[in-house]
Structure 1
Amino acid sequence: MSVPITPVEGLIAGALAAGFLIAGLFFLKFWRRTRDRLFLAFAAAFGLLAVGNALPVLLGTPHEERGGIYLFRLAAFVLIIVAVLGKNLRPRT
């Protein structure tokens, strides 16, 4: 039995997606100012998190069938980890 998305869950998911997009836009603004790749990676990661939150609501995916959508979160967190490691392991000039 699949459980549909309730209106409250849709509202919360939309608010989270909007918050992730706003955070991504802030990081994009910082990247434009500094051209630091870390900010660009954070902007992309927050964009992926926003897509990961909005996609189940937009597609009407039941709770049981959201396994593939979590790959967006995984990609976002891997992107953040790689960016932080790249920033800290890079030789300073």
Structure 2
Amino acid sequence: MSQLAVLNGAVIMGYAVASLFFLKFWRRTGDALFLAFCASFLLLAAVPLITVWLQIPREEQSAVYLLRAAAFMIIIVAIVINSRRSRS
């Protein structure tokens, strides 16, 4: 097993743990922002997983990078919706 695969495994685990924490906070509060963060971190965990499985040498030059962009878009949209909801 290469060092890159081990490091990717650690990154995947970190994203998955963060996702579980946000899922726990969502279950406690019911706030959709936490659910959006949970989904985003799951998408971020999928990026290195797919990269290793498909043996893609440069993630930023593949279509897998769109998953990372989608994760950040989910976060941005959720923050905007949450801030508009708190104003009214």
CA contact 2:43–2:67 (8 Å) conserved in 1: yes
Which residue, out of 14, 39, 50, partners 1:55? 50
Gapped runs of 5+ residues in structure 2? none
Counterpart-to-counterpart distance in 2, 1:64 and 1:46: 17
Counterpart in the other structure of 1:19: 14
Give the TM-score normalised by structure 2.
Answer: 0.90
Instruction: Report the alpha carbon displacement of residue 67 of structure 1 after superposing the two structures with TM.
Output: 1.6
> Per the alignment, do residues 64 and 73 of structure 1 end up closer, same or farther by CA in structure 2, a change over 3 Å counting?
closer
Q: TM-score, normalised by structure 1?
A: 0.85
Aligned residue in 2 for 1:74: 69
Identity of aligned residues (%): 48
RMSD: 1.9
Q: Which has the higher contact order (CA 8 A, sep 6+)?
A: 1
Which runs of structure 1 show a deviation greater than 3 angstroms over 4 or more consecutive aligned residues? none
Query: Looking at CA atoms only, which structure, 1 or 2, has the larger radius of gyration?
Result: 1
The AA in structure 1 aligned to 2:75 is I
